Amino acid sequence: MLQRVAQSKYTNALWRAVAVTTLSGGLLFGMAEAKASWRLERILHKAEKRYGRQSPTTDRLLSWSDLIESSQHLPEIEKLHAVNRYFNHHVRFSTDIALWKQSDYWATPIETLVKGAGDCEDFSLAKYFTLRQLGVAEEKLRIAYAKVLKSNQAHMVLTYYSTPSAEPLVLDNLINSIRPAAERRDLSLSYAFDAQGLYFVKAQGLKRIGDTEHLAYWQALLKKMRQEGFTAEQG
């Protein structure tokens, strides 16, 4: 269940990014950031050296590796369901304060799996990077800021656009089913981002409003992932 958090947790950081990026323009990430290129054995080895071989951490990391291997050749929609189901099943919800002793912390997929827990942005980020590794095109995936309407709480989800003008599907840790945004009457989507930009979420599609250069949590996340052994190549 989504815990009560300060409503400004995401919106303050986002508005700071919007205020700067709409003025600065330009892309921090070109096509070199378009596709994750992972040597999974190296990543798992580095994680093992850092965190040890104790179970269930090792079990979660190996099962994640198995998910990636077994899902490579699935139809794209089935990849969405497999990844959404995996993280919703293997990761429990917990706040950043409880996990990291910080009011806001964006965990890498490795950190989330090591903890076996995360909050809504950690679910969304882990699903995003796993689907990118499975070959889902970057332009189809957006990490979206949202609001849970009943509780007026900030939230984050992963959205999937089969085409640029399509209604997005929502991958969420609050429910296990993947539904079109119009069927998620409990949520209001506001902004979204990926490695290439920051967007308003509009009924007729996404409107680009800047880049992610000044989205500090995103930059810190990418830096940590590189330290864990993740790399990027021309995609």
Burial of 75 (0-12, 13-18, 19+ CB in 10 A): exposed
Domain-by-domain residue ranges, the chain? 8-228
pLDDT tens for residues 182-217?
A: 999 999 999 999 988 999 998 778 999 998 888 899
Give one DSSP letter per residue of 149-196, joined into a string: TTTTEEEEEEEE-SSTTSPPEEE-SS-SS-EEGGG-TTEEEEEEE-SS
DSSP symbol at 4: P
Nearest to 194 by CA among 207, 210, 212, 209: 212
Nearest to 187 by CA among 124, 144, 127: 144
- Above 80 in pLDDT, residue 29? no
Give one DSSP letter per residue of 19-38, joined into a string: HHHHHH-S-S--GGGSEEE-
Pairing verdict, β 169-171 and 179-180? antiparallel
pLDDT of residue 39: 67
Whether residue 180 has a cis bond before it, omega within 30° of 0: no
Give the pTM: 0.81
Model confidence at 13, pLDDT cuts 50, 70, 90, reads: very low
Least confident of 13-17, 186-190, 218-222: 13-17
pLDDT tens for residues 113-160?
A: 989 999 999 999 999 999 999 999 999 999 999 999 999 999 999 999
37: left (phi over 0), alpha (psi -120 to 50) or beta: beta
10 Å Cβ neighbour count for 180? 11
- How far apart (Å, rounded) are the C-alpha atoms in residues 124 and 119? 9
Sign of the C-alpha dihedral, residues 194, 200, 205, 207?
A: negative
Query: Could you tell me the fold of the domain covering 8-228?
Result: C8orf32 fold (3.10.620)
